Amino acid sequence: MRGNFQHLAPLAQLAPAASELQAVSGLAPYVQALLDSRIVDHNLDVSNPPNGYYVRWENGLQVCWHSEVRQFAIQSGPANGFYWSGVSWYFPSAFSACHYANMIVRTVPRLIFSVLGAPALPVTSEIDFYACCQNQLEEEDRQLGFIAIGVWK
C-alpha cells in the first residue's frame, strides 16, 4: 500500500510554498481595492520634480518617492558605535497621515543604513532620517532613495 503513495512525496515539498502563497493571497483584498480605485491626482508628467513624485488614489492612498544625489559627510557621534548625519525629505505632496517612510543610502563599498528620525510617524509634510555608519565618512556625493506611503484624505 505504501508504494501507491510514493508519487505523492514531491507534494510534501510544496508545503512551505503553499504557506507563502497563503500569506501573499492575504494581500489580495488590498491589491484589489487599489485596482478598483482610480488615480485622481499626480505629478508623473513633471520632469524631475524637486521633491519627487506622488500619486493619489480615489480611495485615499498616497505614495511619494524620490531619488537624488546629495553631498554630505557622516561625522556626528559616535553613539552606540555609529556615526550619523541627518537627512530631511519634504514630500512632493502633503499627507493627512504618512504611516510608512524609508530612505536608502547607496554608497559603494561602504555600508550605510538609515534610521527614521524625529518626528515619529505619522507625519504630514516632511520626514527626518539619519544616515548611519560605523566609521566617519568625509563629505561626498551619496545616492538617496526615499519612499513614503499614507493617506491624503
SS3 76: strand
Q: Which of 151, 150, 134, 133 is nearest to 142 (CA)?
A: 133
pLDDT at 127 over 70: yes
pLDDT tens-place string over residues 20-35: 655 666 777 777 877 8
Report d(CA 56, CA 89) in Å as an integer.
19
C-alpha cell, 38: 482610480
Alpha carbons within 13 A on the beta-carbon side of 82: 13
Q: At which residue does the C-alpha cell 568625509 appear?
A: 138
Alpha carbons within 13 A on the beta-carbon side of 131: 28
- In this predicted structure, which of 27-31, 66-70, 88-92, 96-100 has the lowest mean pLDDT? 27-31
For residue 8, what is the DSSP state?
A: G
Of the pLDDT bands very low, low, confident and very high (cuts 50, 70, 90), residue 96 is very high
DSSP H stretches of helix in the chain: 9-12, 15-25, 28-36
Strand partners, 74: 137
pLDDT tens-place string over residues 109-123: 676 888 887 667 888
